Amino acid sequence: MNEYSLKYGCNPNQKPARIFMAGGKDLPVEILNGRPGYINFLDALNAWQLVKEITEATGEVAATSFKHVSPTSAAIGKPLSDKLKKACFVDDIEGLDNSPVACAYARARGTDRMSSFGDFIALSTECDETTAKIIAREVSDGIIAPSYSTKALEILRAKRKGNYNIIKIDASYRPDPIERKQVFGITFEQGRNEFKIDENLLTNIVSRNKRLPEDKKKDIIIALITLKYTQSNSVCFAFDGQAIGVGAGQQSRIHCTRLAANKADLWNLRQSDKVLSLKFAEGIGRPDKNNIIDLYLSDADYPELLQSWQKYFAARPEPFTREEKDAYLNTVSGITLASDAFFPFADNIERAAKSGVLYVVEPGGSVRDDLVIEAADKYGMVMAFTGMRLFHH
């Protein structure tokens, strides 16, 4: 098959739409179910590259949750703690500990559930039954993977009244080294970004603190590869084998950092005892629980919000004050921060410090590098310069 017609392009008025291979070559993808759209395929193909590179760089299976051509998170298949299982809404999934790929997707989906609502999923290895069971009960547009177990395919094909988008990709496919796209009728051409991200990038440590543990190197690699497929400008926070906050597509880098830091803070607060002990009313679904938790963790007026929340809870929740949240976040440390381009001002480091960042990686090259390094040293951070920008558009 060298062509698939699509329902429409980015918007319903943009017809006709298709994907195809020039020169009559066969496509490296096969639609096993559903009818993916233009944006679905943009998400799928970018997401696949991300998880494939993470697996190649770390030797671990990987998963990502994509929305509008940027990842909400990416993760490797590390087992989840009991608290993290509950925070990710997968504490009732049998066999989770025995499925690294299910652990990877549970982490990726659970990081920023609001942004992952209606996601496109990529797995670096075969989708198994446990992973399919997690996906089956989430609001999702589709999945791309190199293969599917018989049972997983049966579960996924039943999703969305039989219309769930399932794509199989040839894991051995390698694209041409030159890529092209059209904008306003004009063809752009460039060499593919084949820059390899691995531990060799982390030798230029410019901070006074030069202690970089092996597990933090893995977090840095995951963060950098995530940025490689995130719409720029972008900043990524990572911890324990997963991206925990992605700030994508902002014109100002400090806005990227603030957005990613706020998401990382929410991820950490969701694992607090106050959140994990919330008692929801019978029949409240995961999307509603997720939205209510976000409201609960906001700084909105608690008594006023409680009036509209009452129907969601089996027991009245205790307020989580700003002081209590700040105290909890002050216990967080060891977070990694990566940036797709240099930090032009030290304000990014100041904001990162408030979210427990101890490891920073960026290209370097700003005229204010000395001020940024000075800020990192003030907080005892480890800072590495890679010398390589990772813009993605």
pTM greater than 0.85 (yes/no): yes
**Which residues does the annotation mark as catalytic?**
67-68, 233, 393
Percent over 70 (pLDDT), the chain = 100
pLDDT reported for residue 372: 96
Rounded Cα gap, residues 202 and 110, in angstroms: 29
**How sure is the predictor about 378, in pLDDT bands with cuts at 50, 70 and 90?**
very high
DSSP string, 121-155: EEESS-B-HHHHHHHHTS-EEEEEES-B-HHHHHH
Give residue-wise pLDDT tens across range 187-241: 999 999 999 999 999 999 999 999 999 999 999 999 999 999 999 999 999 999 9
The 3-state secondary structure of 222-274, one letter per residue: HHHHHHHCCCCCEEEEEECCEEEEEEECCCCHHHHHHHHHHHHHHHHHCCCHH
Question: 137-173: per-residue pLDDT in tens?
Answer: 999 999 999 999 999 999 999 999 999 999 999 999 9
Number of residues written out for the chain: 393
**Residue 306 pLDDT level (bands cut at 50, 70, 90):** confident
Distance of alpha carbon 389 from alpha carbon 184, whole angstroms: 26
Tell me what pLDDT residue 308 has: 76
Helices 38-58 and 214-228, packing angle to 10 deg: 160
pLDDT at position 333: 95
Q: Tell me which architecture the domain covering 3-174 has in CATH.
A: 3-Layer(aba) Sandwich (3.40)
Asked whether residue 36 carries a pLDDT value surpassing 90, the answer given is yes
Mean pLDDT across 261-286:
93
Q: What is the pLDDT of residue 318?
A: 86
Q: Are 129 and 152 in contact (CB under 8 A)?
A: yes
Domains 3-174 and 196-269+329-385 share a fold: yes
pLDDT band per the 50, 70, 90 thresholds, residue 29: very high
Task: Return the pLDDT at 186.
Answer: 93
Does residue 250 have a pLDDT over 80?
Answer: yes
Domain ranges of the chain: 3-174, 196-269+329-385, 273-319
pLDDT tens-digit map of 72-109: 999 999 999 999 999 999 999 999 999 999 999 999 99
Q: What angle in degrees, to the nearest 10, is found between the helix axes of 150-157 and 129-136?
A: 10
Residue ranges of alpha helices (H) inside the chain are 38-58, 82-87, 100-111, 113-116, 129-136, 150-157, 214-228, 253-269, 273-276, 286-297, 302-309, 322-329, 347-353, 369-378
In tens, the pLDDT along 320-356 reads 999 999 999 999 999 999 999 999 999 999 999 999 9
Residue 82: per-residue pLDDT: 94
Average pLDDT over residues 34-52: 96
Share of the chain above pLDDT 90, in %: 87
CB 346 within 8 A of CB 375: yes
Fold of 196-269+329-385: Cytidine Deaminase; domain 2 (3.40.140)
User: What is the spatial distance between Cα 270 and Cα 268, in angstroms, rounded to a whole number?
Assistant: 5
pLDDT at position 188 is 94
